[in-house]
Each structure stands twice: as C-alpha cells, then as structure tokens.
Structure 1
C-alpha cells in the first residue's frame, strides 16, 4: 500500500501506480456533476473508472465478465485496503440480474457493443430500475450509422436515436451521437473512427 493518504492522492494516482489506461473522459465529466454516492460500474474492465470514482468518495460496485480483469482489480483493492470498492465476475450476456440494490449512479462506458443484442433491453431496464429517483445513468457505446458503419466485431450497436428513446422521461444532461476514435487501428496504423452514443441522464 502506498504511504500517501487517499485524500492526498492525485486524480491519476491509480493510472500511474498500476499502469491503467486513463479514466474515461465522460466519467471525468460526470464526476463534476454527479454527487458522491453508491455507484455501479457495469463492465469495469481492470477498474480504471471504478478506482477513480472510489478515489473521489463513491462507494463502488464493479462488474465484469473477464476473470483476469476482476482478479487484477481485486488485487489493487487488497493492496490499497479499499473498503468501499467491491468487484465481482458477472457475465452480462448470460445472467439476468434484476439488480438487488439501489444506486445513485449507474454507468457503462464502451461495453454494450460487446454484448448480444437480446441482452440490451433488459440490461438497460435493470440499470434504470436500480437507479434511485434523482440518480444518474451514463452510457457510452458504439453506434451503427450510414456515414460510419459499425465494425463487424461488435455484436450490438445503437441506431440513430435509439439510446435516447430508451430514456424517454429522463432529464438529459448530455446527449450526443458524435464521431470518436477506437483504440483499435486500421492497416495504416490510424485509429478507427466510429460514431458513439453518449448520454448522461438524470432520473
């Protein structure tokens, strides 16, 4: 465990200490709006976003299907003696959750496009139901659009306006369908462009 207290750690502490990729930009932006509370990271990977939000005071539950990623995150939790971050293996495609807790903030960044299409309606419904009134959902996922067709590697992608339709009746603090870049590169070494549905909404 590092000898620096949690309150003194810089925002990039876990990124630099454990070689993680930087916190997603939309999570950084949401952290400026969403109050500290009980938070669920749906598809956490090795924990870059979960660890950042925990550093900012959130009590975080983090799920991912990849056992190696969860083992890595659990090792960080042990090394840092984190008592308000829990990580567990969850296969979002094969488990139907009906989440059994209520959260202030539920988010999923660059995850939904790796799931099967039949998973998405129920998963979003569970994300919404498990969010308290006045709580927040953040989703970032690849879209399929005429100008930027989705790569065939993604089992699911949102159509134009589809994510927004799921959240009818919520307050949209941010919604856009702008072009962004994947970490994956093409044959020429250029990062591949895709259109992304990006949403931060308040229940």
Structure 2
C-alpha cells in the first residue's frame, strides 16, 4: 500500500483511526472534519467507502486533486458545516478526531446526537477531543472542550471498546488532556 499521506506531504492518519481499524471491517465511514484528508486517504486504502466532510473549501479542493490524481473512487467529498448536525445518511463507522473542539459549543450536543442517530446498529463512533479539567487546564483556547466523564455519559448504553481521558500531544506540540472513545452502537 502506497503511503499517500507521505507522498503528498499530509500529516499521518490519526493513531486512534489506525487502532480503530484493527476492530472495524471496511464499511461506510464518515470522516467528520476531514481537513487535508489524512484519515480519509488511509481509510480508503483499507477499502472503506469514505464520505469526507469539512467546511474548509481549500482543504477539500486539495484533497479532490489527490483523489483525481490517484484515481480514487471510494472517497466522496462534501462541503458541510458540522455545526448543522443534519447528516443525511447512515454509517457503519463515524470518525471525529480532534474536531469537536472547533465547533460552536452550543451545537456539540446536537452534533453528537446526530452522529449516534446516523450510526447503523452495531456501528462505531470514534471521538478524540480536548478536555479542560482542574488537573489539566487546556492550554489552547478552543471554543469547546469536554469535561471529565462527559463523553462516557453521552454514550451510555453503547459498548465501550476504548475509553480514556489521558494526556496527549497535538501535532503542533501542545500537550493537553484528551477524551478518547471508540464505542459500538447496540444491535
């Protein structure tokens, strides 16, 4: 498998997406906030049917150029503002890594509910989001951060394959606490 991310100078796929793919067989996947396509390209190469959405037209245009140059047929790009929380299809896997913290805080609950509603029974949601806690105040002024235990409470009733609130480092070097969850929707 050609490493398209390296070939095009794109950040490698998120480590949690790579890990999730050890549990999830190729299916329809939504890459929420795809940006330059680091996760979308990786998922497409594994055989997933990828819908990649973002509100950044320049990022989508750059990714479209790669898709055309590489003749990739399993990535569908869409301009979409995640704050709308109005998905129009159901997915076996929804990936939302380091994206929620850039959304309107008043819309995050609706976005998460929409993700859950548009996940097929037995499907998966992957979320990685910055936290702001007393022990580890967030050093970056994101519009939204999760609180301790908040994500687990929202996904109560789902099977937790992974759930932690560990310290991590963003690709820009900032160290902060992240809530990470891979959950499977009940059948």
Which band: TM-score by shorter chain? over 0.9
1:67 pairs with 2:57: yes
CA RMSD of aligned residues (A): 1.1
1:155 pairs with 2:152: no
Gaps of 5+ in 2: none
Which residue in 2 is equivalent to 1:194?
176
Report if aligned partners of 1:148, 1:193 keep a CA contact under 8 Å in 2.
no
Helix, strand or coil: the match of 1:183?
coil
Report if aligned partners of 2:52, 2:78 keep a CA contact under 8 Å in 1.
yes
Out of 92, 110, 114, the position equivalent to 1:122 is 110
Poorly superposed stretches of 4+, deviation over 4 Å: none
Gaps of 5+ in 1: 1-8, 185-190
Alpha-carbon distance in 2 for matches of 1:118, 1:107: 21
Alpha-carbon distance in 1 for matches of 2:27, 2:171: 31
Report if aligned partners of 1:139, 1:200 keep a CA contact under 8 Å in 2.
yes
User: After the TM superposition, which residues 100-111 of structure 1 pair with which residues of structure 2 at under 5 Å, given as runs?
Assistant: 100-111=88-99
TM-score normalized with structure 2 length: 0.95
Alpha-carbon distance in 1 for matches of 2:65, 2:139: 34
The alignment covers a number of residue pairs equal to 185
